[in-house]
Structure 1
């Protein structure tokens, strides 16, 4: 398995554990619709939260959260629309990012950015 895939999987597991410990209910993992994949779909306080997890070993090219560009946001919004429709969810939704930076010694920092973006309708 490629190193970046392994890093991504490890990041998603850390994010999932963090969210569970923070009182979120995990609804789905790696949920796909069309070309979009939502890493984690969680629920808390009657809000469905579509969570993108980004893990990096360096910030040489930017912080992990910088890699959730407009194209990715639009794909996530399309997937979210379908998920909301399928679940008949009538409440609020939001889009979060969990950014994880791994250090060479195996330690890491985790940053949870709530309401990180709201995809534009265009």
Structure 2
């Protein structure tokens, strides 16, 4: 596997550990259906939390959350809609971003709650 894939997987593991430590129940990781994909789907306080994870070794060129642009937001919202319909979920939904910066074993994790809202089309 390419080094950046290993970093991404390690970052996602760090994000899951962070969420579990904060009392979140992890429902799914890397959920896929057709062309839809969600990094982490969690639940806490009767709320569904869809988490986009962005991992970088450093922030020299850009902050990791800057990679979550409008097209990515739209894809994530459509995927969340498919997930909600498939599992017939009737809870409020929140969209978060977790940034993970560093190298395996030495990560700085930042949790941005309500990072974005579904855009109006």
Which band: TM-score by shorter chain? over 0.9
Q: Report the alpha carbon displacement of residue 60 of structure 1 after superposing the two structures with TM.
A: 2.2
Identify unmatched segments of 5+ residues in structure 1.
none
> Normalising to structure 1: TM-score of the pair?
0.92
Q: Equivalences for 1:79-90 in 2 at 5 Å?
A: 79-90=79-90
Residue in 1 that maps onto 2:106? 107
Q: Report the alpha carbon displacement of residue 36 of structure 1 after superposing the two structures with TM.
A: 3.1
Q: Equivalences for 1:1-122 in 2 at 5 Å?
A: 1-102=1-102, 107-122=106-121
| Secondary structure in structure 1 of the residue aligned to 2:62 | coil
Question: Separation in 2 of the partners of 1:72 and 1:36?
Answer: 11
Q: Report the alpha carbon displacement of residue 61 of structure 1 after superposing the two structures with TM.
A: 2.2
8 A Cα contact 2:14 2:107, kept in partner:
no
8 A Cα contact 2:99 2:110, kept in partner:
yes
Higher relative contact order (CA 8 A, sep 6+): 2
Residue-pair matches, total: 121
What do residues 56-96 of structure 1 show as CA deviations (whole Å, max 9, x unaligned)?
A: 01212211111111111111001100111112111200100
Runs of 4+ in 1 over 6 A off after TM superposition: none
| Secondary structure in structure 2 of the residue aligned to 1:88 | coil
> Normalising to structure 2: TM-score of the pair?
0.93
| Secondary structure in structure 2 of the residue aligned to 1:91 | coil
